[in-house]
Amino acid sequence: MTRRRWAVPLAMLLGALAVLVLPAASASAHATLEQTAPAAGTVLDQLPGEVTLTFSEPVRLVTDKIRITGPDGERADTGKPAVRDTELVIPVKPGGPKGTYLVSYRIISADSHPVSGGYSFSYGQPSATPSADDPGASVQTDPVVKNVMSVARFLGFAGLVLLVGPALVLFALWPRRLSARDPGRVAQAGAGLLAISTLLELYVQIPYTAGTSLFDVTGDATREVLGTPFGAAHLVRLGVVVSTALLLRPLIAGRAGKVDQTLLVILGIVGLATWPISGHPSASPVPTLTVVADAAHLAAMSIWLGGLVMLFGFLLRRANTRELTAIVPVWSGWALFAITVLVLAGTAQALVEIGTIDALTGTLYGQIVIAKVALLAIVVAVAAYSRRLTSRRFTPSPVAAGVGEIPAGSDVDDPSEADVEDEAGEADDEVEEPEEPAERPAPLAEASDRKKLRTAVLVEVAIAVVVLALTSVLVQTSPARGGTEIPSGPFDSTVSTSLLKLQVDISPAKVGPNSIHLYATKADGSGLPQTVVEWKATAALPSKGIEPLTVPLLAVSDDHSIGQVSLVTAGTWEFKFTVRVDDLNQTTVTVQVPVKS
């Protein structure tokens, strides 16, 4: 029995090494720029008629956020940009001046998240990279907007847990003799949280898409979001929540008929489907698998955690021994099944979204997954302990085979009757077996076990709240299959000069494409941002005779610049960064960067 008892938890722990304990939510910067024509940093003999950007998945335009700035600071694009599946095509004005051209873009990936960036190329001869000072060329996402979106997602997950789990327990396990008013309020509160979350996500998606501040919302931007799959899915979700809230009333009152119950099941399936449809599962390489897996993940998570809330908050407090003997083993089986679904569905998602050990350990997305798996291991261990208590105290004996009919249809309307029966049974036992008076303190042992079980359930719920928060962060993190490294990158150095401190992040510091992030702060050590008016960079490998190559940089804020460079061979590369803070003052720093093959 001991081996069998621990076999399933142990198997789940092993499976958890590849699973998210909660749904793998959509992520920002999902689509990645794979190719540009002209290529970044090239010098052309003639100005191209158009610029083509190729992404890793289909994209959509963001109005007035795609442009080309010429060396004279004027717009060099003409007409409207077009999208051809994964390609973004930007027409270029003919007869432009010679020099360096800056391409900046902000588009929406197939998973409804904004992708922004830029690069430069030159016509005739390189020149200073033009500045994207035009507010319309902004490629940033307001941090406040991003954080509010995470909060909205957290509220949505919490609402789903508080709605689905309690509704299912009320439908299938709640004893008739107990009032359903308080647990019904929990389910209604879950529906309210879901409605608030849905409306908040819809609103925040507008500035999130446009790259504006939280309260900078226009009618055109609103119509643009409502016309997307994201907007349609959230409107459907809102309708589902309202309908579910109306059907909860007869369920709470114990008057829900077959039609009401069937409608609740249908609404639940439709509502759960709006999450993967509006996120990255629908845009994965195998959308059928990831959409089904994500919906199953959500359902299992909601049933498991919502049931734990009901168990801790109500059943272990109010149900009598006979009711718990019928309810707890059933719930234990549900929980085991839910965790199994979490493991299987999460494994399928992880295989698609991560794929390699390097992606698991070398990306922020993967590291969050590792943290969540560690928390899942703790939860499974606690659940195994709870299951042991359940088997010891609340498993019905063969004699009490009919006890299992108590939930949702209990004939024990008066708890005193059950108590009288228990006392009578104990009296009979004393007459037949006087040699075992030690069984008298059993109620005390039962109270102790109830307390232990409630404590274990509380630990599970507390860890689940942390996991919900991690999931909300994961929503805003690039999926590991996109190959996006942690922003700080493998190479991270800060250089101090009399004008400023420059933090240099280069990732992945390997042969091939590398991303560069530069952050300028004031030289006084206050950590305050230092305004920079011009950024320049070169990369050279003197040991192998590679002369300095111009690295195109794009200023995304006054103190932050980004760029991309392709490093053709391994070695210690010499990067030089020239930073101008005003018309008279500039500084040049040199950084030695080890590049691996």
Return the biggest CA–CA distance within the chain.
108
The parent domain of residue 84 ranges over 33-135
Give Cα 196 distance to the centre of its chain.
18
Answer whether residue 421 is part of any domain: no
Instruction: Give every residue of the chain whose pLDDT is below 50, as ranges.
Output: 1-29, 134-138, 398-442, 444, 480, 482-489
- Is there a single domain that holds both residue 252 and residue 347? yes
Give me the pLDDT at residue 403, please. 38
Report how far residue 557's alpha carbon sits from residue 132's, in angstroms, rounded to the nearest whole number: 10
Report how far residue 135's alpha carbon sits from residue 119's, in angstroms, rounded to the nearest whole number: 18
Query: Which residues 6+ apart lie within 8 Å of 357 measured at CB?
Result: none
Number of helices (H), then strands (E), in the chain: 13, 18
- Is there a single domain that holds both residue 243 and residue 384? yes
- Is there a single domain that holds both residue 276 and residue 382? yes
Answer whether residue 340 is part of any domain: yes
Q: Which two structure tokens, joined as six digits, stand for 488?
A: 């700080």
- Is there a single domain that holds both residue 231 and residue 359? yes
Output the pTM of the full model.
0.64
- Is there a single domain that holds both residue 454 and residue 343? yes
- Is there a single domain that holds both residue 184 and residue 115? no
Distances from the Cα of 66 to the Cα of 88, 119, 140, angstroms: 10, 12, 13
- Is there a single domain that holds both residue 252 and residue 117? no
- Name the domain boundary from 481, 503, 532: 481
- Name the domain boundary from 135, 169, 194: 135
CATH number, position 538: 2.60.40.1930
- Is there a single domain that holds both residue 233 and residue 112? no
CATH number, position 38: 2.60.40.1220
Answer whether residue 412 is part of any domain: no
Give me the pLDDT at residue 473, please. 61
Domain count of the fold of the chain: 3
Containing 299, the helix (H) or strand (E) segment is helix 287-310
Give me the pLDDT at residue 186, please. 93
CA within 13 Å, CB half, 236:
18
Tell me 396's DSSP state. Answer: P
Give me the pLDDT at residue 187, please. 93
Give me the pLDDT at residue 328, please. 80
